[in-house]
Amino acid sequence: MLDQRRLPEEERFLELTGWEQVAEAIVSMTVRGAPAIGVAAAWGVVLASRRGADLAEAMGALRAARPTAVNLGWALDRMAAVLNRKPVDQLDALVISPGIPHLHPKPHPAAEMARAHHIEIISDIELLMRAQPQAKLVGITGTNGKSTVVTLIDHLLKSNSVATALGGNIGRSALDLDDPGKDGVIILELSSYQLETTPSLSLDAGAVINITPDHLDRHGGWDGYVAAKANLVKAVQSHGLTVLGADGAVVQLADQAASRLVIADQNMAPDTASSPDLKGPHNALNTAIAIEICQYLGVDRNALIAALPHYRGLPHRMEKVGQMGDIRFINDSKATNGDAAAEALKSFHDIYWIAGGDAKDGGIGVAANHLDQVRRAYLIGASAEAFAAQIAAACPVEISGTLDRATASALHDAQMDHCLNATILLSPAAASFDQFKNFEDRGHVFRQIVDGLTAPAVMEAAHD
Ligand code: ADP
């Protein structure tokens, strides 16, 4: 298993000299119930299989031992070194983490090595497929909205007494999911990377929410990215249900569906006015998709609608993190591209918009078409100047540089404007890596800044 995550245990594993020892260590840890992870278990499966065991049986044994998920991943370059020293040609498979390029822009050395020895390169989702769980399988992909749709499906099913397991590209790794049995449902969030390395993917229901340019470098361009998403459509069994978001690029996948097909659009969603965490037209689309899938799985539409208001949104997706008088603070740090930010801009009025960071191809993208509710933009990070050039003709802009300066300026301006229902919105339309560890870190820092600004002492001072 090739994983990009690094933990102290890595060192201990690297001291082991043979594959057998590594396999035994993993298996014994798993059996003892010590924290072993899907990642380690996956490698254990590959290794056990090398020792003559059938892959599915080895997988079953490890699942029976119920490994709990704690990451024992190996660092990338170390792993490549290990593979260099070992008889690579004797491996059954290289189980690759989604973060590691196996083709584009340049294959990781371990992937190159595996390919040179005709060793298959697969994802942990593929191992889950080969373990043949009994539960029904739902797979969701798309450029934006995956996590919202899978968590909404999970909520709607659980609220209607259907046993579920949720994982894949979110939360628990695929190999750590307990099979909820034939009456239950496994819900998988699938990234485009995982869709390239899961040849046995087989779904009862699947959805592609939308496709807009993102991560193109990892797929050799737009066609490669669309082809990865198309793998999900092809994986839905003929008795199943395929749902496609009504967006041009997605609809072109329709002729690849072998199952019943529904093209979902936001108008098909029930009224979500009483569902506080499903605001905005994009969430209407997400809701329409989730409801189609849950109905296909046998739950009554009215029962699903009744559960909608109780859905609690995920952190960093249009999450309210503070209120000061008429001004609310919204953390949409997960909006790492222009398409996602555009949805947030459509969802609020009188917006003081904080954007910028590590820009994607196309920069601020379609977000630049939704500036009519933006009173002023506060630009931060590496893309600040470039974003300013893209939008300065359409709305006032401040190059703030950092998130704390941007938030303080936005608050100052919102207070001066005295408008009712102003929104200070962090929806960056860019990745976070230039200034933060990841989008979660960016969201946490924003929350801390907001907490600091809205603390009673500061509020009193602001009213002086
Ligand atoms: P993903 O898991 O695909 O990254 P999330 O549900 O975490 O998707 O949402 C990521 C960002 O995209 C958030 O800013 C969210 O508000 C926005 N978003 C959610 N659903 C959609 C959609 N259907 N279309 C466009 N943007 C969306």
138 and 205 Cβ atoms separated by less than 8 Å: yes
The best mutation among 141, 143, 146, 148 to test binding of ligand 1, ranked by most ligand atoms within 8 Å of the C-beta, falls on 148
pLDDT, tens digit (0-9, with 9 covering 90-100), for 374-386: 999 999 999 999 9
Residue 215 designated active-site: yes
How would you list the strands of the sheet with 260-264, edge to edge? Answer: 164-168, 185-189, 136-141, 203-208, 236-245, 260-264
Report the C-alpha gap between 355 and 114 in whole angstroms. 41
102 and 110 Cβ atoms separated by less than 8 Å: no
180 and 215 Cβ atoms separated by less than 8 Å: no
The alpha-carbon radius of gyration of the chain (Å, integer) is 23
Q: What is the pLDDT of residue 369?
A: 96
How would you list the strands of the sheet with 422-426, edge to edge? Answer: 319-324, 327-331, 422-426, 351-355, 374-380, 397-401
pLDDT band for position 235 (cuts 50, 70, 90): very high
Closest to 355 in 3D by CA, of 422, 429, 424: 429
Is the C-beta atom of 231 inside 6 A of ligand 1?
Answer: no
pLDDT, tens digit (0-9, with 9 covering 90-100), for 187-224: 999 999 999 999 999 999 999 999 998 888 888 889 99
Where in the chain are the domains? 8-122, 132-310, 319-463
pLDDT band for position 289 (cuts 50, 70, 90): very high
Q: To the nearest whole percent, how much of the chain has pLDDT over 70? A: 78
Nearest ligand 1 atom to alpha carbon 151: 6
Is the C-beta atom of 247 inside 6 A of ligand 1?
Answer: no
Give the amino acid at 243. Answer: V
Report the C-alpha gap between 165 and 154 in whole angstroms. 8
Q: 42 vs 347, which has greater pLDDT?
A: 347
Average pLDDT score, the chain: 83
Average pLDDT over residues 399-414: 98
430 and 378 Cβ atoms separated by less than 8 Å: no
pLDDT band for position 148 (cuts 50, 70, 90): very high
pLDDT at residue 76 tops 60? no
Q: Does domain 319-463 have CATH number 3.20.20.60?
A: no
Q: pTM here?
A: 0.81
Instruction: Please report where in the chains the tokens 């590691």 appear, as a residue.
Output: 100
Q: Does domain 132-310 have CATH number 1.20.120.530?
A: no
pLDDT, tens digit (0-9, with 9 covering 90-100), for 358-378: 998 889 999 999 999 999 999
Residue 169 designated active-site: yes
Report the C-alpha gap between 126 and 84 in whole angstroms. 24
Q: Could you tell me whether strands 236-245 and 260-264 are parallel, antiparallel, or unpaired per DSSP bridges? A: parallel
Average pLDDT over residues 63-83: 36
Q: What is the pLDDT of residue 176?
A: 76
Is the C-beta atom of 209 inside 6 A of ligand 1?
Answer: yes
Min mean pLDDT across 117-131, 178-192, 285-299, 304-318 is at: 117-131
H or E element, residue 117 = none
Distance 360 CA to ligand 1 centre (A): 16
170 and 99 Cβ atoms separated by less than 8 Å: no
Q: What is the pLDDT of residue 458?
A: 53
Report the C-alpha gap between 7 and 176 in whole angstroms. 18
- The residue nearest atom 15 of ligand 1, judged by CA position, is 317
Is the C-beta atom of 148 inside 6 A of ligand 1?
Answer: yes
Active site residue: 86, 104, 215, 320, which one? 215
Structure tokens at 421: 């229902």
Residue 227: CB atoms within 10 Å: 16
